[in-house]
Structure 1
């Protein structure tokens, strides 16, 4: 009999693996609906949807492996990172989906979220004030006008599978929709700056590195407290707090 593997779990959602099937349980049905719709529209490989019921989505496992995870050693050849960059570009050039995604929040909304989070990080003693202030300054460059693209919205390296330097699929589309394409690129390379050149080589020229760095700061500042409160270690080597330290 296949064993049940708990892939990830917190108060909002959980993912289980049973053999070659992944079961995603989400308290917010909208996220499941968004995921299914986005995978149907995305011009990149995605998992097969086996069935969907209220609050549960069953997906077939993808062949291959990921390029690693935040805080862990990266894997894969430069060619694999370039292949991932090319697939991200293909997604960003696709027709826009109907929904606004996580990467599509307005400048005003992001600025308000960021300022409130920075204040909480300092007031609650989660991070030193100077580290927060300096990264808030770096993050400012992300708060600028951008042209909407079809974005994944949570494009961590753990969400992209490759086999023999070819992308076999991209998972976890619940935050997908119209958004800033540089948000995806920054999320994908967060904590793995050494592979940024390879990703850009596959993606194409014209990337503003200052904005990529800004999104690294902004995403990390917004994530630290949530991660701590949900049982994740943002202070582990190579994770969000180390990213913030590296940017100042």
Structure 2
């Protein structure tokens, strides 16, 4: 049970800090509007560091269904634990974004831009192109999960892959690099729970001027990261067999 609880807590902290910086940048009436993409990318890296450091030694700090599924595909994580991890990650993401809403309540009330409000919960493409948006999410998540395999295992051939607290910094730097290098086209969800949980919360909360939750796009940051995670796992397995 502790593994699920810490997966929940770690994901909640990830979203609290990660989407907190987005709110600080895009909502009306904040003091962080000049932070821009640089601030967002750095803060998401810090958010990952915090989430991983908190939960690593208890749950393995997946914080992401794509990571859990990728590890299970590679035989490094039990499939029986995957559903519980995914539920904990989605609920944790919702809790983290709920506190973002509490923190910026007056700014949400002052903001009339529905796209800006949605951006503090979930991702959307800079240029709408479903196929290429999907490709972007696949590539970004592939880079994340493939990197996690090497960071967490230390070396190819280990029987288990689990993030420890000392892995928090390299994983954070990896996510920061993905943000700077690959994140522009879609906002780099690279995590189904990070997008789906907050999008559900956006649909539920009584937010003034919130508009719709853009469910037509929601499948891309859900399916794309899962595909990317599975591809990373398959490549890792191939490399393991030839080492």
Q: Normalization by structure 2: what TM-score? A: 0.31
Higher RCO (Cα < 8 Å, 6 or more apart): 2
Q: Normalization by structure 1: what TM-score? A: 0.31
Q: Which has the higher strand share?
A: 1
